[in-house]
Amino acid sequence: MKKLINSPENVVREELEGLQLAHADRLRVSFDPFYVVRRDAPVKGKVGLLSGGGSGHEPLHGGFVGPGMLDAACPGHVFTSPTPDQMFEAGKAIHSGTGVLQIVKNYTGDVMNFDLAAEMLREEGIAVESVLTDDDVAVEDSLYTAGRRGVGLTVLMEKLLGAAAQKGMPLDQLKALGDKIRASGRSMGMALTPCTVPHLGKPSFELAENEMEVGIGIHGEPGRKRMPLTSADQITEMLMEPVISDLPFRKGDQVILFVNGMGGTPLIELYIVYRKAAEIAARHGLTISRNLVGSYITSLEMAGASITMLRADDALLDLWDAPVNTPALRWGA
């Protein structure tokens, strides 16, 4: 295991210390329990936006705390859902009287821990709503699984709801908007290499030099199928096709196209994927109204990429364009 760390136990704490030192102008970090919060929280008259999940997906979620996006983020241990006391304390810290909206990726652990936190917050008299992301088309959505995983759409959800909350949208409307976004976005990812969770010290799965794993999530879990490694163009087809046909996206749709790196894949390769994804979108008569290319929701140092598409009307595009000022996503401010 080759990592720039001091000890596996201290990875999350030390990362948070670095995050706080680097961005003290925008955020502060609570260390007991762990959460990252806007420096100016609670923001008067604004619904508090709360997210979180296992660490190892940086910049998600801590790097998205700031004006125009999240009010607080709760990091768990690496690839492990955070605990309810974190969301409970963070929720209280960001509640300004207008309630708290939780953005939760659909993983059994995340859902149960956020649910517990919501109960605890409600007992304090705080109105809480939750929005799920479950955009990963690699998972068969049926009664017989834990349901689709929340992956790349989470980044777009946090940006869009962040903008809406910043504009003063009340809790129930935010919840409805979140559900609409949830219903309008789909993702699929693949890996060229596994990643190594620090305290395990060995790769999460094995892949031969000529193999890739298609349909991975973001937790270093193996994917749905293992295949011979092929070209970027073919891989992009393999990701785009199920994304498009699942929603389905239809001729004439405006979309936000998000090409995401899993952590160890350089930007040069993401643009090669973007090129093909844009070509495929055009072939289907889709208009790419906005895009995002980079490593925003990662699996440690895993090499690979995921593609997320969100059908977006003009109102969503306005929210996308609204100013955002976080460590990892910033424009207009």
Partner 1 sequence: MDHLTPALARSWILSTARLIEQNAQHLSDLDAAIGDGDHGANMSRGFQAVAKKLEGDAKADDLGALFKVTGMTLLSTVGGASGPLYGGFFLDLGKQCASRAALDAKDLADVLDSGLADIQRRGKAQPGDKTMVDALAPAIAAMRAAGDDIVTATRAAADAARNAATATAPLLARKGRASYLGERSIGHEDPGANSVALLLDALASATGA
Phi and psi torsions of 188, nearest 5°: -155, 140
Q: Does 145 bind ligand ADP (CB under 6 A)?
A: no
Applying the rule CB under 8 A, the residues between 98 and 127 that interact with a second copy are none
Q: Which secondary-structure segment (H or E) carries 198? A: none
Q: Residue written as tokens 């100016």?
A: 40
Applying the rule CB under 8 A, the residues between 285 and 304 that interact with a second copy are 291, 293, 295, 298, 300-301, 303-304
Q: What DSSP string runs through 261-298? A: E-SSS-HHHHHHHHHHHHHHHHHTT-EEEEEEEE-SS-
In angstroms, rounded to a whole number, what is the distance separating the alpha carbons of residues 165 and 324? 12
Catalytic residue status for 219: yes
Residues 22-41, mask of contacts with ligand ADP (x by CB under 6 A): --------------------
Q: Two tokens at 151?
A: 């992956």
Which of ligand ADP, partner 1, a second copy, none binds 11 (CB below 5-8 Å, type-dependent)?
A: a second copy
Identified catalytic residue from 23, 61, 77, 219: 219
Residues 196-225, mask of contacts with partner 1 (x by CB under 8 A): -x-xx---xx-----------x-xxxx-x-
In angstroms, rounded to a whole number, what is the distance separating the alpha carbons of residues 227 and 247? 25
Q: Does 80 bind Mg ion (CB under 5 A)?
A: yes
* Cβ proximity to ligand ADP, 220 vs 261, nearer residue: 220
Q: Does 107 bind partner 1 (CB under 8 A)?
A: yes
Identified catalytic residue from 23, 57, 61, 95: 57
Applying the rule CB under 8 A, the residues between 148 and 167 that interact with partner 1 are 149
Nearest CA-CA partner of 227 in 218, 241, 238: 238
Q: Two tokens at 149?
A: 């995983």
**Sheet architecture: strand order including 72-78:** 27-31, 34-38, 72-78, 48-55, 100-105, 128-133
Q: For the chain, list the strands marked E by DSSP.
A: 27-31, 34-38, 48-55, 72-78, 100-105, 128-133, 185-191, 211-214, 225-228, 254-261, 287-294, 304-311, 324-325, 330-331
Q: Shortest distance, CB of residue 207 to a second copy, whole angstroms?
A: 8
In angstroms, rounded to a whole number, what is the distance separating the alpha carbons of residues 26 and 313? 31
In angstroms, rounded to a whole number, what is the distance separating the alpha carbons of residues 226 and 223? 7
Residues 68-97, mask of contacts with partner 1 (x by CB under 8 A): --------xxxxxxxxxx------------
Which of partner 1, Mg ion, a second copy, none binds 221 (CB below 5-8 Å, type-dependent)?
A: partner 1
Catalytic residue status for 57: yes
Distance set, CA 320 to CA 152, 161, 164, 233 (Å): 15, 9, 9, 28
Q: Does 317 bind a second copy (CB under 8 A)?
A: no
Binding site for a second copy (CB under 8 A): 2-7, 11, 14-19, 21-22, 55-56, 58-59, 63, 192-193, 209, 212, 229, 231-233, 235, 263-275, 278, 291, 293, 295, 298, 300-301, 303-305, 325, 327-328, 330-333
Binding site for ligand ADP (CB under 6 A): 80-81, 108-109
Binding site for partner 1 (CB under 8 A): 33, 54, 76-85, 107-109, 112-113, 115-116, 138-140, 144-146, 149, 197, 199-200, 204-205, 217, 219-222, 224
Indicate which residues carry an active-site annotation.
57, 219
